[in-house]
Amino acid sequence: MTNTNNHSFSCEFFPPKTDKGRENIEATLIELKKLKPDYISCTYGAGGTTQDGTFDTIQQIMQHGLEAAPHITCIGSTKEKISGLLKQYKDAGVSRVVALRGDLPEGMEDPGELRFANELVEYIRSTTGDHFDIEVAAYPEKHPQSRNMQDELIQFARKAEAGANAAITQYFYNADAWVRFVEDCQRLNVTIPIIPGIMPITNYTQLARFSASCGTEIPRWITTRLEGYGDDLDSIRAFGFDVTLQLCEQLIDAGAPGLHFYSMNRAEPTVRLWNELNLG
Ligand code: FAD
């Protein structure tokens, strides 16, 4: 069995919008804490739509004695605003951030002062030195806006050069895409850890919608099965669990330096995978 001691295992939340959502996060945290994750990150809406929610969730995570990593986006923002945000997090005891460009919200046209994630990483490094561990995004199946895979790799390398410590990938279901991406990065002398982002499969309609917008391919053999289950949620979850577990095993065997679970604020799918994989 692979030794996973030096690996990074982490989870991701999004900021809840309701009191019920906040209670749910509390219950999820109680379960995830038992796994001793390296950190839990929380997303942030580009344009600042979830700014307060992200900060509150980060505090909630830290109250459980866990390391918390806020996501920060730069599109449509200003250096002053980002600087304020970094200070707020530093003062709160945060030492890790996930730095992203984000997507301009509909109706907003001004991209702001920092137009791409590499510029955000550069800005964080120039204003806060080595205080923060910086994670960035990686796209083994290509970001929808990149012209081709070569361009994807070049732009990814710029984020590493700007001072990123590691990367978390968009979720994918083809382990080969990650293996190839890492090999291509090594050829470009980009050696930061590239941690696969894992999206448990629990709801086919939602997954299909997300995947279409972020450019993730759901292999045909998986789609065919999931569609065939119709409204039978138990079968979708059982099959989804097997597929995701197999993907995680393939990735760890192929040398993945960790896994980052998109928890969707739910404990159960991540806890099951984590325990089955014997992580931690
Ligand atoms: P970039 O790395 O800047 O890349 C965006 C596009 O621009 C790519 O096509 C790239 O090739 C191109 N590009 C990059 N640099 C340059 C350059 N200098 N010149 C020309 N082209 C360039 N979104 C949110 O709103 N909030 C979140 O919390 C959030 N969390 C995420 C977490 C992870 C792990 C991932 C994978 C994605 C997340 N996203 C989030 C989505 C992300 O914001 C979008 O995918 C966004 O479109 C790109 O962000 P990026 O940081 O990857 O951008």
Cβ neighbour number for residue 83 with a 10 Å cutoff: 14
260 alpha carbon – ligand 1 mean position (Å): 17
- Residue 104 CB less than 6 A away from ligand 1: no
CA of 102 to the centre of ligand 1 (A): 5
CB of 42 sitting under 6 A from ligand 1: no
Determine contact, residues 100/120, Cβ cutoff 8 Å. yes
Supply φ then ψ for residue 279, to 5 degrees. Answer: -80, 165
pLDDT value, residue 253: 97
Residue 167 Cα: closest atom of ligand 1: 34
Any bridge partners for residue 260, and if so which? 10, 197
Contacts of residue 177, defined as CB under 8 A and 6 or more positions apart, other chains included, come to: 140, 141
Burial 220-250 (b: 16+ CB within 10 A, else e): eebbeebeebeeeeeebbebbbebbbebbeb
Greatest distance between any 2 Cα atoms in the chain: 53
Q: Which atom of ligand 1 is nearest to the CA of 135?
A: 34
117 lines ligand 1 (CB under 6 A): yes
Q: Find the 117 Cα to ligand 1 centroid distance in Å.
A: 6
pTM: 0.97
What three-state secondary structure class fits 160? helix
Spacing of C-alpha 131 from chain mean position: 21
CB 137 within 8 A of CB 100: yes
Which pair of tokens denotes residue 74? 């730069």
Which atom of ligand 1 approaches the CA of 151 most closely? 11
pLDDT at 100: 98
In eight-state DSSP terms, residue 255 is: T
For tokens 């791409």, what's the residue?
Answer: 116
Is 31 in the active site?
Answer: no
**What is the pLDDT at residue 218?**
98
pLDDT < 70 stretches in the chain: 1-3, 5, 46-50, 280
HSE of 184, CA atoms in CB hemisphere, 13 A = 20
Scan for tokens 């995701």, then name that residue: 244
Q: Would you say the CB of residue 41 lies under 6 angstroms from ligand 1? A: no
Distance 43 CA to ligand 1 centre (A): 13
Atom 39 (ligand 1): residue with closest C-alpha? 102
